[in-house]
């Protein structure tokens, strides 16, 4: 059940609980990866990044991941003008693609923003 989607998807809190519980059942990283639906390298990275001195706690791991995500440089590229354009356009029922075009026209400095910003 490997995820062949080329777009990276963050682990869910449910997947983190699985990652926490399955080793206790004697499963290897590869077996856990298959059960969770991710690659074994994802399991390895998850355990490395989000374990503390007390081990791997899925609740703590999820909070650490969310904190990293919100403090990432790309999370801070939006500004009030961009937010206003997104809110107004969504209220008008515009598609993300149309909103993106509007943003590029009205705020040329936002060209580096991805379409995913609109969905936030």
Write out pLDDT tens, residues 99-113: 888 888 887 765 555
Q: Can you tell me which residue has the tokens 């997104």?
A: 86
Q: What is residue 61's predicted lDDT score, i.e. its pLDDT?
A: 92
d(CA 6, CA 9): 9
Domain boundaries along the sequence of the chain: 13-71, 76-119
Segment 54-99, tens digit of pLDDT = 899 999 999 888 888 777 666 556 677 788 888 899 999 998 888 8
Q: What is the mean pLDDT of the chain?
A: 81
Tokens of 4: 């062949």
- What confidence category does residue 1 fall into, taking pLDDT thresholds of 50, 70 and 90? very low
> What is the separation of C-alpha 38 from the centre of its chain, rounded to a whole number of angstroms?
14
Q: Which of 45, 38, 29 is nearest to 5 (CA)?
A: 38
- pLDDT tens figures, 10-47: 899 999 999 999 988 899 999 999 999 999 999 999 99
Q: pLDDT band for position 118 (50/70/90)?
A: low
């Amino acid at each position: 059940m490997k995820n062949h989607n080329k777009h990276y998807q963050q682990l869910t809190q449910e997947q983190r609980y699985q990652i926490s519980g399955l080793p206790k059942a004697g499963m290897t990283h590869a077996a856990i990866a298959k059960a969770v639906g991710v690659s074994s390298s994802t399991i390895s990275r998850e355990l490395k990044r989000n374990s503390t001195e007390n081990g791997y706690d899925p609740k703590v791991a999820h909070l650490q991941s969310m904190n990293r995500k919100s403090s990432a440089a790309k999370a801070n590229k939006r500004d009030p003008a961009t937010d206003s354009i997104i809110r107004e356009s969504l209220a008008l029922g515009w598609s993300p693609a149309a909103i993106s075009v509007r943003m590029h026209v009205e705020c040329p400095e936002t060209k580096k923003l991805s379409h995913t910003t609109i969905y936030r």
